[in-house]
Structure 1
Amino acid sequence: MSLDPEVVRWSVPEAERAGRPLLVLLHGYGSDENDLYGLVPYLPDSFVIASVRAPLAPPWPMPGNAWYPIDELGRSVGVTDAATRFIAWLDEHTEASAVGLLGFSQGGAVSLQALRLQPERFAFVVNLSGYVSPGALETDAALAARKPHVFWGRGSRDDVIPAPLVEHSVEWLPAHVELSGRVYPGLTHSVSEEELADVRSFLEHRLDDLAE
């Protein structure tokens, strides 16, 4: 199922997007494009920001949308399919030469998988309360050679992402990307203002990189 281009929230009209770096927001399970769009005031306004809606509907009575079925948490097939669908939307509906991703939870996993699938396509990833999907991809060696910047933030009291996936991510990420980020004491499966300040600093540094 494809992403719906009619429900994407953009920070600026189409006429103001040319020549500017694009930051795409990918929400978590049971949410929609309006959720992470609330972060826009905290993010550098040099980016054109697009907040997209995942294409799947969770089982009733869960509201919102999903990138892959929740029972596929930790499996690579669903995450890879979701990342492939997202890249197809990007190919069809954007022309930005510099693209970064910011995903929360499921959206974080999909963002990292998209980076793995096309290491040269994405400038960086911000992974909030997400994880790296287990399983090797043919493109992982190219990713490790390029080592793009990734910010990973998570809470010390986040009990949503299973510990084995966190442990896998802790081991896998430093070997494949230029990793930065923090574990925030007392934070659950959510985002704090302290974390947003760190994300903004990370994004400002990436803008500096793109300007070089």
Structure 2
Amino acid sequence: MTPSDASLDPDVVRWSAPPAERAGRPLLVLLHGYGSDENDLFGLVPYLPDDFVTASVRAPLTPPWPMMGNAWYAIDAMNLDDVGARPGAAAAPDEGMGGVTAAASAFIEWLDAATDAPHVGLLGFSQGGAVSLQALRLQPERFAFAVNLSGYVSPGELPRDAELAARKPPVFWGRGTRDDVIPPSLVEHSAEWLPAHVDLSGRVYPGLTHSVSEEELADVRTFLTHRLDELAD
């Protein structure tokens, strides 16, 4: 699961608007979860505010056979039986930090080449949520906000965490009470870390598994609408 080129492929990105209609508009980038691709979260576009230009990117790695789709970082080191998880679980904390950081760095490299949007927000699911938050930590000034659905914050310290804590950008964190994919230790770490570093909002959805519900989508839309109002001021 270590390709020779771990950069994002600019030819497989799905955009909600053609190039001529993107100038000057805020950009919302969608980062999918493990075993998926750019088509997955793009299905959310009709439920999101259409003032955003939306881009859905494909993670650069290929999971081990027989898993299909793509991945942002390896999860091979985790003993899934220990957390009762199916494939798609987060990497173990001691293995995941470098992989999540490398994935976020590759994403930022793609972003630098892909757009000059005046404002950029992130929406990631599971692995994509972890990468979104890691990108926010790497470049706190670059991103207006982040939405983390069924994801987590990677443990460990990064050089600009204090700067992020000073800026406190808005972050929405949604997860379900029946999500058995993200280990409880990472949920606990995220619950402690996020309020100290970002302006946190979100909900825990009763009965929701490792997925996105209509109720959660409605909350995300409200969050994004508020972000548009702030960017317009």
Same fold (TM over 0.5): yes
Task: Please give the TM-score of this superposition, normalised by the length of structure 1.
Answer: 0.99
Q: How many pairs align?
A: 212
Which string of whole-angstrom CA distances, capped at 9 and with x for unpartnered residues, describes residues 10-59 of structure 1?
00000000000000000000000000000000000000000000000000
2:194 to 146, 151, 173: 173
Residues 11-26 of structure 1: pairs in structure 2 closer than 5 A: 11-26=16-31
Give the superposition deviation at 1:71: 2.8
SS in 1 for 2:113: helix
Residue 68, structure 1, aligned to residue 73, structure 2: yes
List, as ranges, runs of 4+ consecutive aligned residues in structure 1 with deviation greater than 2 Å: none
Residues 123-202 of structure 1: pairs in structure 2 closer than 5 A: 123-202=144-223
Q: Tell me the equivalent position of 2:230.
A: 209
Alpha-carbon distance between aligned partners in 2 of 1:16 and 1:71, rounded to the nearest angstrom? 41
| One-letter code aligned to 2:210 | H
Which string of whole-angstrom CA distances, capped at 9 and with x for unpartnered residues, describes residues 104-159 of structure 1?
00000000000000000000000000000000011000000000000000000001
Give the superposition deviation at 1:70: 1.2
| One-letter code aligned to 1:203 | L
Alpha-carbon distance between aligned partners in 2 of 1:176 and 1:114, rounded to the nearest angstrom? 14
Residue 110, structure 1, aligned to residue 131, structure 2: yes
Q: Tell me the equivalent position of 1:52.
A: 57
SS in 1 for 2:144: strand
SS in 2 for 1:102: strand
Alpha-carbon distance between aligned partners in 1 of 2:52 and 2:69, rounded to the nearest angstrom? 26
Identify unmatched segments of 5+ residues in structure 2. 1-5, 78-90
Alpha-carbon distance between aligned partners in 1 of 2:57 and 2:159, rounded to the nearest angstrom? 27
Identity %: 81
Give the superposition deviation at 1:93: 1.1
Residue 88, structure 1, aligned to residue 109, structure 2: yes
Alpha-carbon distance between aligned partners in 2 of 1:151 and 1:94, rounded to the nearest angstrom? 24
Task: Please give the TM-score of this superposition, normalised by the length of structure 2.
Answer: 0.90
Residue 37, structure 1, aligned to residue 42, structure 2: yes
Alpha-carbon distance between aligned partners in 1 of 2:134 and 2:173, rounded to the nearest angstrom? 14
SS in 2 for 1:179: strand
| One-letter code aligned to 2:156 | G
| One-letter code aligned to 1:198 | D
Give the superposition deviation at 1:97: 1.5
Q: Tell me the equivalent position of 2:13.
A: 8
Which string of whole-angstrom CA distances, capped at 9 and with x for unpartnered residues, describes residues 54-96 of structure 1?
0000000000000000135132100000000000000011111
Q: CA RMSD in A?
A: 0.6
| One-letter code aligned to 2:52 | F
Alpha-carbon distance between aligned partners in 2 of 1:71 and 1:77, rounded to the nearest angstrom? 14
